Amino acid sequence: MERAEKFRLLRGNMTQDELSLRSGVDKAIISKIESGKMPGTVECHKKLAEVFGLKLSELYAYLENGKPEAAEF
Each residue's pLDDT tens digit, 4-62: 898 999 999 999 999 999 999 999 999 999 999 999 999 999 999 999 999 999 899 88
pTM score, whole prediction: 0.84
pLDDT at 42: 95
What are the residues whose beta carbons fall under 8 Å from the beta carbon of 36, sequence distance 6 or more?
A: 2, 3, 4
pLDDT at 56: 92
Query: 46 and 25 in contact (C-beta within 8 Å)?
Result: no
- Is pLDDT of 68 > 80? no
pLDDT at 63: 87
- Is pLDDT of 67 > 80? no
